[in-house]
């Protein structure tokens, strides 16, 4: 099936952007209502936009929707800077949520490496759904681990995760997981966006 994709992601499947300054205020992501939902490690998620605007982490396809057309949840009321960041992208967004990840070393993280199913129910001819990250805590020794081939270390790339890091990944193409060897929880924002002119403009405006 044919979808609109972004040339900036053709080569590696990801693009690293400049760091966000100033960072998102800590009280915004710590004040959210989190849910026990496991993905890529010992995780909890706070839904900020969901398929129907409910506090849930289920896939949009459970409601007959592709991962776009997200509706703000009650969590959005307590994180105005996060909402502003999402809306500033200008692209159609789907799930928006913060993740709280507990520490895990490299070998443990590799066992949790996965691909996403972003484009289930996405009609052919529309924009391919990818994901953007914004790091909310400062974890420069942690990294997003990406592989074209899950079992081949030669295909691996790593993105360091200091405070304010921004990057976009085609997570249906790339296997991915976060290696977080620290002693404290790591927080980040993850948002699904539809590929198209708006997302392309935003990415190019955020390049280093």
Domains recognised in the chain with CATH numbers:
44-205 (2.60.120.330)
pLDDT confidence of residue 182: 84
Cα 142 to Cα 157: distance, rounded to the nearest angstrom: 13
**Residue-wise pLDDT tens digits, 167-207:** 999 999 999 999 999 899 999 999 999 999 999 999 999 99
pLDDT confidence of residue 84: 98
Beta strands in 67-174 (DSSP E): 71-72, 93-101, 129-135, 139-147, 156-161, 166-169
pLDDT higher than 80, residue 1: no
For tokens 């304010």, what's the residue?
164
Check residue 4 and report its DSSP letter.
B
Question: Looking at residues 28-37, what average pLDDT do you find?
Answer: 96
pLDDT higher than 80, residue 59: yes
pLDDT higher than 80, residue 38: yes
Check residue 104 and report its DSSP letter.
B
Nearest to 58 by CA among 94, 92, 83: 94
Whole-prediction pTM = 0.96
pLDDT confidence of residue 40: 86
Question: Looking at residues 87-107, what average pLDDT do you find?
Answer: 98
Nearest to 21 by CA among 163, 207, 167: 163
Cα 97 to Cα 34: distance, rounded to the nearest angstrom: 9
pLDDT higher than 90, residue 81: yes
Helix (H, G, I), strand (E, B) or coil at 77: helix
Instruction: Please give the mean pLDDT across all residues of the chain.
Output: 97
């Amino acid at each position: 099936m044919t979808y609109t994709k972004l040339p900036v992601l053709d080569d590696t499947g990801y693009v690293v952007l400049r760091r966000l300054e100033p960072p998102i205020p800590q009280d915004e992501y710590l004040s959210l209502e989190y849910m026990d939902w496991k993905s890529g490690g010992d995780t909890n998620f706070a839904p900020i936009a969901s398929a129907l605007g409910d506090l849930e982490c289920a896939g949009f396809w459970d409601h007959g929707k592709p991962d776009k057309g997200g509706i703000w949840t009650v969590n959005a009321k307590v994180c105005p800077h996060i909402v502003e960041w999402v809306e500033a992208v200008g692209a159609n967004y789907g799930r928006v949520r913060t993740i709280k990840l507990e520490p895990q070393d490299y070998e443990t993280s590799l066992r949790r490496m996965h691909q996403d199913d972003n484009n289930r129910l996405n009609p052919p001819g529309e924009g391919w759904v990818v994901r953007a990250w914004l790091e909310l805590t400062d974890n420069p020794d942690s990294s997003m681990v990406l592989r074209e081939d899950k079992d081949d270390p030669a295909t691996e790339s790593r993105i360091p995760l200091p405070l304010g890091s921004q990057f976009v990944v085609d997570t249906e193409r790339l296997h991915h997981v976060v290696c977080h060897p620290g002693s404290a929880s790591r927080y980040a924002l993850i948002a699904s966006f539809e590929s198209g002119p708006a997302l392309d403009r935003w990415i190019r405006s955020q390049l280093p």
